[in-house]
Amino acid sequence: MQNGKNVKQNNANNTVQPKLYLIPTPIGNLGDITFRAVKILTEVDIILAEDTRTTSFLLKHYGIEKKMFSHHKFNEHKTVEQITQRIAEGQSVALVSDAGTPGISDPGFLLVRTCIENNIEVECLPGATAFVPALVNSGLPCDKFVFEGFLPQKKGRQKRLEQLANEERTMVFYESPFRLAKTLLQFAEVFGNSRKACVSREITKLHEENIRGTLQQLIEHFSEKPPKGEIVITVSGTEKTQKHHEDCE
């Protein structure tokens, strides 16, 4: 297979190269996309989309007409070799997920790894992702944090929470609104009712909100007001003094 660096050929009408472009897309507000992202989506040979229907809506909004192929967790193992071959032969490919940055709790890692293994260049644009505004807006320390994404739904969930019990950095989780109440209860059991946290939902959308308080306060709030929309939970780390006291008991 050809080295990706050796097949770069500038087209007179565009600036994209034969490489894989990871393009962040808006997580709610369609205005949250960069000029460069729109330009690259306009110029690449093909777009790989987690859901072509969702991406079609975005492309139509920006007047982009482009050939698309599905690339999701159910078919990515079967298509990565074909995609890397296309790039090696000189095509430019953009990968988008339904929302946010590809690879962050979305398909993307397998394709990136395969491209790197085949000396094919990968470029990831900066852009929208849900956990960063949720973390910054939480009011919890964000100089150091750990991103956990979605916890295992069943097997390994309790074990992972127990491993995080003494984590001193702020923790960030993704969760379904249907599992939020149960998850907050599990957090309280492991981290303690008084642990500070924030639940952010519908980030960048019309009904965005950030509910801050202790885990117990959040449990009471969402027991009365079941949430809707995409959820990010930010939980403070354990305080060093508290951890030291517990270790000495």
> What is the structure's pLDDT at 154?
86
Neighbours of 136 (CB within 10 A): 11
pLDDT digits (tens, 9 = 90+) for 117-143: 999 999 999 999 999 999 999 999 999
Q: What is residue 51's predicted lDDT score, i.e. its pLDDT?
A: 95
Mean pLDDT, residues 140-160 taken together:
94
Give pLDDT, residue 110.
Answer: 95
Q: Which residues contact 208 (CB under 8 A, 6 or more apart)?
A: 28, 200, 201, 202
Q: What was the pLDDT predicted at 246?
A: 46
Taking the alpha carbons of 33, 38, 40, 44 in that order, is the dihedral positive or negative? positive
User: For residue 123, which phi and psi values (nearest 5 degrees)?
Assistant: -130, 125
The chain-wide mean pLDDT, for the chain, equals 91
Higher pLDDT, 4 or 29: 29
Phi and psi, residue 38, nearest 5°:
-60, -40
Domains, the chain, ranges and CATH?
Answer: 4-124 (3.40.1010.10), 131-248 (3.30.950.10)
Say how many C-beta atoms besides its own lie within 10 A of residue 49's C-beta.
26
Which one-letter amino acid corresponds to residue 123?
Answer: E
Question: Which comes out higher in pLDDT, residue 2 or 133?
Answer: 133
Q: Check residue 14 and give its pLDDT.
A: 62
Is residue 163 exposed (0-12), middle (13-18) or buried (19+ Cβ within 10 Å)? Answer: exposed
186 Cβ neighbours under 8 A, 6+ residues apart = 157, 158, 161
What pLDDT shows up at residue 6? 41
**Regarding predicted confidence, which is higher, 235 or 15?**
235
15 falls in which pLDDT band (50, 70, 90)?
confident
pLDDT surpasses 80 at 159:
yes
CB neighbour class for 15 (10 Å; exposed up to 12, middle 13-18, buried from 19): exposed
Cβ neighbors of 220 (< 8 A, separation 6 or more) are none
Is residue 24 scored above 70 in pLDDT? yes
Task: For 209-225, write each residue's pLDDT tens digit.
Answer: 999 999 999 999 999 99
